[in-house]
Structures are given as structure tokens and as C-alpha cells.
């Protein structure tokens, strides 16, 4: 039984991963800006047999992240696994993007991952233990989407992938592995943030036609990849990007 800390755990892929970890009886600290969602996810995890606590925390604020880690350690001991997953998607073309939007996306998606990893690494090093860190990247970190307006989001995801590679090398000698999961289109609230409700079914149908495996991912699909990385079964995997996108990045964008 190991202690796993998950950010963005109140919904989507974070919640799906929390539920999967609960089934193997992990101790879970579930962090989300929406404290009610984090606490509800913790209840669901306890019903599955895991130990879990939900904590309200804005990952862009260092003091809040530090306090969340302190609370987790007091209850469950130092973290062995970290899933730095919290993120937002706010778009716009660069020439008209407000600096406040740019700074908010950077603060949550990139600085939030940095802070989540920083305090997790501190706990692991102080405990003298090995561990596994997983960060959520995106295909947008490697390719541009035809929909456009993804510059800020894409920049953060490319940054996360670069950060993962550097941390993997820096901390390998301590037995700490660092990897990225790269989910494709997934049935989460964030997936549809920038899509009008009336357009969602048409877009879902189009995505289903274009994804080689023929459907969007469910959070549980991505969670299985994350749980593998947060296990001894992946003990020789570090600095990797585990793509879980139904084949999208393997496919050329042109249709002929």
C-alpha cells in the first residue's frame, strides 16, 4: 500500500486514476481547486477500498501546494507516487490573446506541474525512497491542432514534456522515475469547454470518424496507462511519453 498524490483529482482523468488506484488499495491524497469535487472523489475511493482524503488546492499557488503535501504526509506518510494532472484549456489566437489568459494557462498548467513535482520530490528525497511521477502532457505539445487557437495550451504541454525528460535524468540516481502520459481526445468536461452544447454531438461524431480506434477515450482508458506508470511493472521506464490517443499521433493529417 503506497501513498499517491493526484492533482486535478475531482473530475476527468484525475478522478478516473484515483478510482483505479483505490481498487488496488493505495492511500490517496486527492487535490483539486474544487474542494467539494476532491472530497467527493475521496468518498468514492474509500467505497472501493482505498484510503483517501480530498484537499482543496490551487496548484498555481506554492503555499497551497506546500500545505497540501504537509497534510498528506501527516495522514499517510511521504508520497511514493505523484500524478501531476491538473490543467486548464483557455484558447485564442496569439495576436489577440490577453496577457492575463496567457499567464493563467502557464500558471496552472506548467507552474502547477512544477510545484506538484517540486514538493513531491522533496518528500521522496527526504524519505530516501524511490518513487514514480507521472505528468499529463498532450499531443498538442508535439503537433498543432487544425482547430487553432491552442498556442498557450500547447506551449505548456511542450514545456511539461521537456520538464519530464530533465527530471527523469536528474533523479534517476535516486530511484525516482518521471514519465508523461499523453492522452488524446477524452470524454471529460475540459474536452468540451470551448464547444457550444449544440455542436458537441456533431464534433463527437467527427472525432469518432477521425480517431483510428473509432472513439474518444474514457477517463478509465487513460487511467490504466497512468496506473501502470505508478507501479513496479514499469520499473525500467523513465523519461518516456506514453501516448494514449487511439492512434491519432500515428496518423497523417491528410486524407489521401
Quick check: 100 pLDDT over 70? yes
Query: What would the grid cell of residue 101 be?
Result: 489568459
Res 194 pLDDT > 70: no
pLDDT at 256 over 70: no
Q: At what angle do helices 12-23 and 219-229 cross, to 10 degrees?
A: 60
Three-state DSSP class for residue 152: helix
Query: For position 193, what pLDDT does the model report?
Result: 67
Write out the three cell numbers for 198. 449544440
Residue 110, pLDDT > 70, answer yes
Residue that has been written with the C-alpha cell 508535439 in this structure: 142
Between strands 81-84 and 51-56, the pairing is unpaired
Q: For residues 24 and 122, give the distance between their C-alpha atoms in angstroms, rounded to a whole number.
A: 25
Nearest to 148 by CA among 203, 94, 204, 205: 94
CB-based burial of residue 190 (10 Å sphere; 0-12 exposed, 13-18 middle, 19+ buried)?
A: middle
pLDDT of residue 192: 63
Residue 203 lies in a domain: no
Is 191 or 224 the better-scoring residue by pLDDT?
224
Backbone angles phi, psi at 10, to 5 degrees: -80, -15
Cα distances from 242 to residues 60, 143, 181, 222, 245, in angstroms, run 25, 16, 5, 10, 9
Q: How far apart are CA 11 and CA 34, in angstroms?
A: 10
> Residue 254 falls within a domain, yes or no?
no
Quick one: cell of 150? 491552442
103 vs 202, residue with greater confidence? 103
In total, how many domains does the chain have?
1
Range of the domain at 89: 3-187+219-242
Look at residue 252 and tell me if it is in a domain.
no
Give the active site residues.
153
**Is the pLDDT score of 84 beyond 90?**
yes
pTM above 0.85, yes or no: yes
Could you tell me the CATH number of the domain that includes residue 27? 3.40.50.720
Amino acid at each position: 500500500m503506497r501513498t499517491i498524490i493526484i492533482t486535478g483529482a475531482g473530475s476527468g482523468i484525475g478522478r478516473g486514476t484515483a478510482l483505479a488506484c483505490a481498487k488496488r488499495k493505495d492511500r490517496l491524497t486527492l487535490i483539486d481547486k474544487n474542494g467539494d469535487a476532491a472530497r467527493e472523489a475521496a468518498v468514492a475511493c474509500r467505497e472501493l477500498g482505498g484510503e483517501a482524503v480530498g484537499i482543496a488546492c490551487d496548484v498555481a499557488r506554492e503555499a497551497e501546494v506546500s500545505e497540501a503535501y504537509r497534510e498528506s504526509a501527516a495522514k499517510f506518510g511521504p508520497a511514493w507516487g505523484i500524478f501531476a494532472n491538473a490543467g486548464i484549456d483557455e484558447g485564442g489566437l496569439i495576436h489577440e490573446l490577453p496577457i492575463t489568459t496567457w499567464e493563467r494557462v502557464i500558471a496552472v498548467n506548467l507552474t502547477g506541474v512544477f510545484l506538484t513535482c517540486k514538493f513531491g520530490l522533496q518528500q521522496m528525497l527526504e524519505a530516501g525512497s524511490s518513487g514514480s511521477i507521472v505528468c499529463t502532457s498532450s499531443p498538442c505539445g508535439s503537433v498543432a491542432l487544425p482547430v487553432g487557437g491552442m498556442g498557450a495550451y500547447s506551449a505548456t504541454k511542450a514545456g511539461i514534456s521537456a520538464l519530464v525528460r530533465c527530471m527523469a535524468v536528474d533523479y534517476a540516481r535516486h530511484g525516482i522515475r518521471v514519465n508523461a502520459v499523453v492522452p488524446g481526445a477524452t470524454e471529460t468536461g475540459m474536452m468540451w469547454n470551448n464547444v457550444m452544447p449544440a455542436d458537441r454531438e456533431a464534433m463527437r461524431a467527427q472525432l469518432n470518424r477521425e480517431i483510428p480506434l473509432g472513439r474518444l477515450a474514457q477517463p478509465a482508458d487513460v487511467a490504466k496507462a497512468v496506473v501502470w506508470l505508478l507501479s513496479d511493472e514499469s520499473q525500467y521506464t523513465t523519461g518516456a511519453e506514453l501516448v494514449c490517443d487511439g492512434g491519432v499521433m500515428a496518423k497523417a493529417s491528410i486524407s489521401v
